[in-house]
A and B are shown apart, each in its own frame.
Chain A
Amino acid sequence: MSDAHAHSIAFVRETELPPAPPPTAETGAVKWVRENLFSSIFNTIMTILGLLIVLYLLSGLIPWIVNGTWEGASIRDCRETLQGSGGGCFAVLAERWPQLLFGFQYPDYLRWRPSLAFALLFLAVPPVLFFKLPRWMLVITALYPFVAYWLIWGGTAITPIFALIGVIAGYFAFTRVERQGFVLGLLAGVIVAAIMWWIGGYIAAEEPGWLRIEAVPSREMGGFMLNMILGIVCVSLSIPIGIVLALGRQSRLPVVKGFCVVFIEFVRGVPLITLLFVANVVLAYFLPPGTNFDLIVRVIIMITMFSSAYIAEVIRGGLAALPKGQYEAGDSLGLDYAQSMRLIVLPQALKISIPGIVNVAVGLFKDTTLVSVISMFDLVGMIRGPILSSTAWTGVYWELWAAACVLFFVVCYGISQYSQWLERQLRTDHR
């Protein structure tokens, strides 16, 4: 056979051709540009227009940043230094940066305390966010609120220690009595915790000097610190409350269901700003004269109410999305309500709800700036109030708001990136 071929065919290539490089127009960046930016007349026009807009924006932004000055004690100094070069007056940030972070009333020699609390946050939060970390680290997370409270507000250490003891004692009482019924256990836990807190309050009043660091009243909190405090506290409180409300709304007990429905629908039907006004001015009239119910606590209660109603609705969406078979599976395995919720329903429902919960959390964190309306000096309140209307800096505008944008963007972008990572981690369907 091979002979016949050798004679009937003039040439047989016995080696493979080396692959030739593709034409330059069909490869690499050129191809990408051709296909994505200049594939048609319309796309070409849009590309050129887009480039022009970007160039225009950069031509303003780059000189503003590069020529900007960080030196000077007032806007007049800035103008003298800049001589109309179009640069930004970042000197206001240099001078007022601590005020933007901590507010103008927090004593400057104590600023290390909230800074330390912030640093510890990076130790306390990861065990909750990244479940591959060893479980014992959750102890740090559990201790953190009490340490952070003591660092930021100061005062005697008895208060946070007994708050912690109360929680622990309540938990033990709960686990002891739980076998006789969940509600009974809950009641025992609350009573034991309340007794411990009462004792703690009594001892703190008797021994105010024990392990005391200088106390800072709530009125002196401010700046981005206030946004962080409100954001973190309210998000971490409103997720468990939201879960309870969502489950309550599905309950078969009419009283529980009715209460949850009324609460959720009422809070969702009211703007947050009105709740804040209620917290600030109206409550002052209902409380007996002389009582000074801490303003930050009032605001935390209102924001937590607000966001837990929203989170409850998000989680209800997750619960509704689960097939009925999952609930029935729990029942048929002989699990009681708490077990089937904890082991079967909630893990799946929460996974579905993650994007919604993060959405609420990011929105809530940004909504904390609304407290500036009730004369609290959070980051926005600091800028709008004391800094923009100081004699030295009246007329500075963009630099301060740009700084506020950067601070908020860093936090919110971080939250949203984490949620996307979490979704990838929890993806169990094989797409």
Chain B
Amino acid sequence: MKNSVLLGTLAFAGLAAAGASAATLDDVKARGTLNCGVTTGVPGFAEPDANGVWQGFDVAVCRAVAAAVLGDADAVTFVPTTGKTRFTALASGEIDMLARNTTWTFSRDTDLKFDFVGVNYYDGQGFMVPADLGVSSATELDGATVCIQTGTTTELNLADYFRVNGMSYEPVPIETGAEAVQQYLAGACDVYTTDRSALAAQRAGFENPDDSILLPEVVSKEPLGPLVRHGDSEWADIVRWTLNALISAEELGVTQANVEEMGSAAGDNPEVNRLLGTEGELGAMIGLDASWAKNAIAAVGNYGEVFDTNIGEGTAIGLARGLNAQYTDGGLIYSPPFR
């Protein structure tokens, strides 16, 4: 009941705002900065560092779009949003795009009147338990107390999973990830469940990471990606193809280091040429200049580089590519062709 009222309000809001803002690209160019909604902080995905500069995997998408549209990766106003305020901020036009590890779901795409432009991280919900609990599978969790963040899709997935398997559980609702970890470490709950990327990141921060194990079950699909408002397809195209440019760049071997050289003159590979604007008119088709993709890649690197610097195995978070490898390496990351 509560939820449907909220969704209804949001949908109404989305309708009202859709009419108000048609040409987001013109607004962004006139303003000179991109208003990008991010989280208030998720390790590796979006976090301000000690100097107040935003860093992270989602932040890189914002910077890439700013570089493509405005030619300056720092021309971004980051608007931190909570799980509660993120959709209203986008619907009311306060932000131009939202890159806030938000799961692409049916109702968000249709009922809330948003457009998900792609997936930049394939996640899934997992479980973390203390090693000495002696549990090796999520199917043994009957009767467990579970720490869970409120207002997220994980809450609903958890209920579904336990119902399907005929098990009972006792939820311990918690507001933020940091509090959930503290509760879990203090023994207030047997299990902590959220997206596996977050579990791995938080486990890496534990004093004794080996005391906790991730159970093998992945109980949901959580495709996380950037989204924009309904009603401005040109703007959605720009965000979508900026993300695709980063993905294609990895596939084609274009990196932050060699993009200047490869983009200075047409080379042997026609697709690289089209991507970097040395051949064809792709930039003009979306209302940007020819070097849009080159600027984006030069600013943040290709998809693989963004992954490695922010959340990859070399960082404190230490996530493996897994599902997020290129399709050529057995993953799901796949960009339509630049043609």
Contact = CB atoms under 8 A, between A and B. Distances in A.
A113 interface: no
B338 interface: no
The interface size bin for chain A is: 35 or more
B44 interface: yes
A79 B207 contact: yes
Given A388-B178, A392-B50, 18 more contacts: A99-B48, A108-B51, A290-B20, A374-B82, A375-B40, A377-B80, A384-B40, A385-B41, A386-B40, A386-B41, A388-B176, A389-B41, A389-B43, A390-B43, A391-B316, A392-B316, A394-B205, A397-B182
A384 B47 contact: no
Interface in B173-214: 175-179, 181-182, 201-202, 205-207
B92 A389 contact: no
A281 B88 CA distance: 7
B290 interface: no
B152 interface: no
Interchain residue pairs A-B with the least CB separation, the first 6: A385-B40, A389-B41, A388-B178, A289-B20, A104-B52, A394-B205
B317 interface: yes
B172 to A, nearest CB: 17
A289 B93 contact: yes
A257 interface: no
B93 A394 contact: no
A388 to B, nearest CB: 4
B171 to A, nearest CB: 21
20 contacts: A104-B52, A106-B52, A281-B92, A284-B94, A285-B92, A290-B20, A381-B40, A384-B176, A385-B41, A385-B80, A386-B40, A386-B41, A388-B176, A388-B178, A389-B40, A391-B316, A394-B43, A394-B202, A395-B206, A397-B182
Interface of A: 74-76, 79, 95-96, 99, 104-106, 108, 219, 280-281, 284-285, 289-290, 373-375, 377, 381, 384-392, 394-395, 397
Contacts of B167: none
A75 B13 CA distance: 42
A390 B51 contact: no
A75 B205 CA distance: 8
Contact of A95 (B50, B88, B176): B50
Interface in B37-80: 39-44, 47-52, 77, 79-80
A142 B52 CA distance: 35
A397 B181 CA distance: 10
Most buried by B among A75, A105, A391, A392: A391
Nearest to A82: B207
